[in-house]
A and B are shown apart, each in its own frame.
Chain A
Amino acid sequence: MERVPTEHVPVPPLAGLRPANTGNPPIGPLVKPPAPVLAPQIIGARGLAKTYPNGQAVFAGVDLDIRADQRVALIGSNGAGKSTLLKCLIGLLPSTHGEITTLGERFLAAPNAAQLTRLRRQIGFVFQNHGLVGRQSVLTNVIQGKLGLPGSWRAWHHALARQEWREEAMAVLAEVRLADKASARADQLSGGQAQRVAIARALIRRPRLLIADEPAASLDPAVGRDIMRIFSELARDHGITLVYTTHDMQHALDYSDRIVALKDGKVHFDRPTTRVSLRDMDGVFHG
């Protein structure tokens, strides 16, 4: 596996990258009109490949460029490598080939320990199985979202956590409409409620990037749509880049700005959602 030195590429703050609207009239014909400014890059991958130790190739030659504030659906049939790609992009799994720049951290294969720490501090995760601690209260589960951040060693239980974190947890619980369940045990919640708590746990980190792996796969269709809507709206309202995997075509079409389809270990298509038809989607799963 090739190795090059890894480096930290500073990313400018979100607010400073938008074309400033000063309200002044154009200065004159000699002044060049401002070039369209791209939102900052959140994830960039070049020639990414992943092969398991047993020789099984998952994907190869993947190029991706995900910009701030985008809501990206990563679709593909079971075993297409969606989750693996997601984990490689955020450094939780080493890739076999290619270069990744995520949240300004450039690395080959896998980030070093310092990069991984910096990455984790800016990312919120939501898993298919929600990963809540069943015997802990909802409030404790949400506050545990602060773990891994500086000074967070007390965040493993709400009774020990800082007061401002307790208040912040109540605020995010209110956003997912579960403030009244703060004292309930997590294992007494329905599947949809548990997933909303998982979203709150991710949001309390104030992430720049929210990663969700099949967030609605284990829920019934109505609850699944509700979860996807909450996800999508909160990500948009908080200015968080959302990348999620799904094998539900409707979820991808309804709750994303852009769809990246994986098929046979390659990017089958990568387009704005408005330019993706149901036929295109069908081609990913059946073509």
Chain B
Amino acid sequence: MASTTSPTLPRALPPSRLPSISPLSFTVLVVVGALFLVSMGQVAPSPEKLANGLPRMAELVGRMLPPNTDPGFLQRMGWRILETLQIALVGTVFGVVISLPMGWLAARGISPLGAFRHFPRALISLFRTVPDLVWALLFVSTLGLGAVAGTMTIVVDTIGFCGRFFAEAMEEADKKPQEALHAIGANRVTVLCGAILPDVMPTLINSSLFALEKAVRASVVLGLVGAGGIGQELKVAFDLFQYRNASAIILAIFIIVLAMEFLTDRLRAKFQ
């Protein structure tokens, strides 16, 4: 009988258990590890420091309790909370509305500015990278103390946040409907309104709701630098050692942020 042996295949070895690492990657890993260890020694809390701080923390919490429920104080706090929510809402709405054209102008492959789209993109990056408290300081210096400075801060902060997400969402929008409309001679604005925005609407709504949630948290602390809202009341309470007032404000902030997260979660689920 004729033999039917198949040609001998080269013996295949299984891949290594550990991923191979280049000398450069290894060096970077060592440098980062060393930097972390040095930093930890300098800025991380030591166990002794934590142990010494705990009794002081307990004492402070004791002075904070019970939270102040004086009707006069609660009424004043209520007005400040309302102002905080107004700053967040107005700032977010203005920010989202401005972010739409900014995102469009900055989006790769969609922007009518071509290579000049880097200018709106750089502006959005500037708005995003400078922290909101720094913007608040700038607006307090230029517009004066109060809620207007806070609102402007939230507007700028929202453009930095939403502008980037809106631009990325538009870049990832389905290209086929856009091509179909361009082929029949639709202009850029009608393609934006008719094809791009409907396609990315869930992302736009999600980003806007995240921006609102973020704005509520941010507007709470803007008062610390004089930009209006409940934060201003919190600063006064700590400055004057009115810890029971401070605990009532912190509790109110907690409830506001929790309520806002609950609300935005529900809205996000609805618009999916």
Contacts and interface: CB of A to CB of B under 8 A. Distances in A.
B265 interface: no
B194 A148 contact: no
Contact of B181 (A117, A121, A129, A144): A144
Contact of B186 (A92, A132, A136, A147): A147
Contacts of B186: 144, 147-148, 156
Interface string B160-191: 00000000000000101101110111110110
A120 interface: yes
A127 B185 contact: no
A148 B184 CA distance: 6
Contact of A129 (B176, B187, B195, B201): B176
A148 B176 contact: no
A134 B199 contact: yes
B193 interface: yes
Given A131-B179, A134-B199, A156-B194, A147 B174 contact: no
Nearest to B195: A133
A256 B181 CA distance: 27
Contacts of B195: 133, 144
Contacts of B62: none
Nearest to A126: B180
Contact of B184 (A133, A136, A147): A147
25 contacts: A120-B183, A120-B184, A123-B184, A125-B184, A127-B179, A130-B176, A131-B176, A131-B177, A131-B181, A133-B177, A133-B199, A134-B177, A135-B198, A135-B199, A144-B181, A144-B194, A147-B181, A147-B184, A147-B185, A147-B186, A147-B190, A148-B185, A148-B187, A155-B194, A156-B193
Contacts of B185: 116-117, 120-121, 147-149
6 nearest A-B pairs in the assembled complex, by CB-CB distance:
A148-B185, A131-B180, A156-B194, A147-B186, A120-B185, A133-B177
B183 A147 contact: no
A133 B183 contact: no
Nearest to B198: A135
Contacts of B181: 131, 144, 147
A157 B189 CA distance: 13
Query: Interface range on chain B: under 10, 10 to 19, 20 to 34, or 35 or more?
Result: 10 to 19
Contacts of B183: 92, 120, 125, 127
Interface residues of A, number: 30
A145 B185 CA distance: 10
Interface string A86-120: 00000010000000000000000000000011001
Contacts of B176: 127, 129-131
B216 to A, nearest CB: 29
A243 to B, nearest CB: 14
Contacts of B174: 134
B198 A136 contact: yes
Nearest to A133: B177
Contacts of B194: 133, 136, 140, 144, 147, 155-157
A132 B177 contact: yes
Nearest to A143: B194
Interface string A192-203: 000000100000
B180 A153 contact: no
B195 to A, nearest CB: 5
A116 B183 CA distance: 10
Contact of B193 (A121, A127, A132, A157): A157
A205 interface: yes
Contacts of A127: 176, 179-180, 183
A205 B184 contact: yes
B197 to A, nearest CB: 9
Contact of B190 (A92, A145, A155): A155
Given A125-B180, A125-B183, A145-B184, 13 more contacts: A125-B184, A127-B183, A129-B176, A131-B179, A136-B198, A144-B186, A147-B185, A147-B194, A148-B184, A148-B186, A153-B187, A153-B190, A205-B184
